[in-house]
Amino acid sequence: MSSFFQPNLKRQGRIARGVIGTLCLVAGIVVAGDISLWGLILVVAGLFAIYEAVSGWCVARACGIKTKI
């Protein structure tokens, strides 16, 4: 199980996750102004993507899904 949480992203993937996370977070904050479920979903997704970028770990890659970046 410990190999599941090993870092599996290189610099390019971390940058991509960081940009995607930031965009989702900003969009979620804008949409959350209306107090909608979509705003909450976008904020949570953005925070998770930023966590992936900071830690260098991608859940999709850890599950065996091949990603291009």
Residue 67 or residue 53, greater confidence: 53
State the average pLDDT over residues 19-24: 97
pLDDT of residue 26: 95
pLDDT digits (tens, 9 = 90+) for 27-46: 999 988 767 888 999 999 99
**CB atoms near residue 52 (< 10 Å):** 24
What's phi and psi for 65, nearest 5 deg?
-80, 130
Residue 17 is part of which domain span? 2-62
For residue 1, is pLDDT > 70?
no
**CB atoms near residue 40 (< 10 Å):** 13
Q: How many domains does the chain have?
A: 1
Q: Rounded to a whole number, what is the distance in angstroms from the first to the last CA of the chain?
A: 24
Is 9 part of a structural domain of the chain?
yes
Is 52 part of a structural domain of the chain?
yes
Judge if pTM exceeds 0.95: no
Is 67 part of a structural domain of the chain?
no
